[in-house]
Amino acid sequence: MKIGIGFDGFTPMADVVHIAQQFEAAGADSLWFLQHMGYREAIVMAAAVATSTSRIGIVPAAVSPYLWHPVATAMSIASIAELAPGRVEFCISVGNLKNLGESGVEAAKPVVVMREYVEAIRVLWSGEPVRQEGLFHTLDGPRLAFTPPGRLKIHVASTGPQVLRMAGVVADGILLSGGLTTGSCREHMAFAREAAAAKGSAAGRPHVAGLIYLATGNDGAAARKTMKKKLAFLFRSPMQAANIRSSGLPIDHEAIMETVMKRQLDAAADMLPDDAVDAFAVAGTLDQCKRRLQDYLDVGIDELVLEISGDAAERLHAMKLLQFLRSV
């Protein structure tokens, strides 16, 4: 099993570079940089870290086809791959529907749009011209003047069953959303793997990476409080409804969405019961985290991507969990 570290755009750039270097030295396999609208940008984070590390995998992630044009995206990822040959992969997702709406973008027909995006980018990386009458993008023969070294893998992040099924057939892998219950993780993996098996996908079983929200520190209670805020932010998405239901916890999803969109994150966090932390994430002291991580390991994820909340010191504290994960 591979171990990755996720960055969500909330961390200052100087800390991003420092933490990335520390985790590379500690033996982590990959760094995933997740695009959140309005926050620090994933391509810049990935490029900055690519120049300051030497071994670790680099994955710009959660790039939305509704906001990033395929030609520009193909250029960006290929350019990072030149900086870090053999280390770069890529991950796309629809994006948060409410944030897309705020940006004046309607994310219609995501299954087709995501599939077309993957196909267009692969052709662009091959150096050939692309002609595509797509639902969202129409391409009339653009081609890249350079090509990335080697074949770059594309992952799809989603909570939607149809997108996950498409990804199982078209993409190299999937990224399970952060904040999923273990039950949701199993269900989402099955969507992709069963679709791949049914289609006899040439690439075989899709790789499954799972984003795990993690907060730890000497003060376990403080870490759990931090995690509630993180989960409240995640639950701004209507696509989290099924996952929330799977926990069986009494959570007023609508009220949380409304409160987060008013940017009242503390108030939204207070709406979550304490049990939500253990249902959707890994948080507390190191021992509490080890117990909960074991639950996610039992799911059978290929690559555990830890998105660690807190300041730089708390993130480095979480590094101790790497040794635990390597030992199991």
Q: Reduced to 3 states, what is the DSSP secondary structure of residue 176?
A: strand
140 contacts another protein (rule: CB under 8 A): yes
Residues 6+ away with beta carbon under 8 Å from 25? none
* DSSP designation for 66: T
41 contacts another protein (rule: CB under 8 A): yes
* DSSP designation for 271: T
> By C-beta, is 78 or 325 nearer to another protein?
78
21 contacts another protein (rule: CB under 8 A): no
Q: Which one of 20, 34, 43, 282 is in contact with another protein (CB under 8 A)?
A: 43
Q: Reduced to 3 states, what is the DSSP secondary structure of residue 283?
A: strand
Which CA distances in Å does 51 have to 28, 54, 81, 106, 230? 17, 8, 11, 35, 29
13 contacts another protein (rule: CB under 8 A): yes
Q: Which one of 21, 27, 71, 135 is in contact with another protein (CB under 8 A)?
A: 71
Min. distance of Cβ 157 from another protein in angstroms? 18
Min. distance of Cβ 72 from another protein in angstroms? 5
Residues that contact another protein, how many (by CB under 8 A): 43
47 contacts another protein (rule: CB under 8 A): yes
135 contacts another protein (rule: CB under 8 A): no
103 contacts another protein (rule: CB under 8 A): yes
Contact (Cβ atoms closer than 8 angstroms) between residue 147 and residue 79: no
CA pair distance 5, 101, nearest whole angstrom: 29
145 contacts another protein (rule: CB under 8 A): yes
Query: Shortest CA distance to 175 belongs to which of 151, 153, 198?
Result: 153
149 contacts another protein (rule: CB under 8 A): no
Q: Reduced to 3 states, what is the DSSP secondary structure of residue 175?
A: strand
Q: Which one of 7, 23, 32, 68 is in contact with another protein (CB under 8 A)?
A: 68
Min. distance of Cβ 136 from another protein in angstroms? 10
Min. distance of Cβ 165 from another protein in angstroms? 27
**Largest Cα–Cα separation, the chain:** 57
CA pair distance 243, 68, nearest whole angstrom: 27
1 contacts another protein (rule: CB under 8 A): no
51 contacts another protein (rule: CB under 8 A): yes
Residues 6+ away with beta carbon under 8 Å from 145? none
CA pair distance 178, 226, nearest whole angstrom: 15
> By C-beta, is 181 or 259 nearer to another protein?
259
| Paired residues of 238 in beta bridges | none
Alpha-carbon dihedral sign for residues 250, 254, 259, 260? positive
CA pair distance 279, 244, nearest whole angstrom: 9
Binding flags for another protein, 224-263, as an x/- string (CB under 8 A): ----------------------------------------
Min. distance of Cβ 23 from another protein in angstroms? 18
Using CB under 8 A as the criterion, which residues of the chain lie in contact with another protein when the complex forms? 9-10, 12-13, 37-41, 43-45, 47-48, 51-52, 67-69, 71-72, 75-76, 78-80, 82-83, 102-105, 134, 137-146
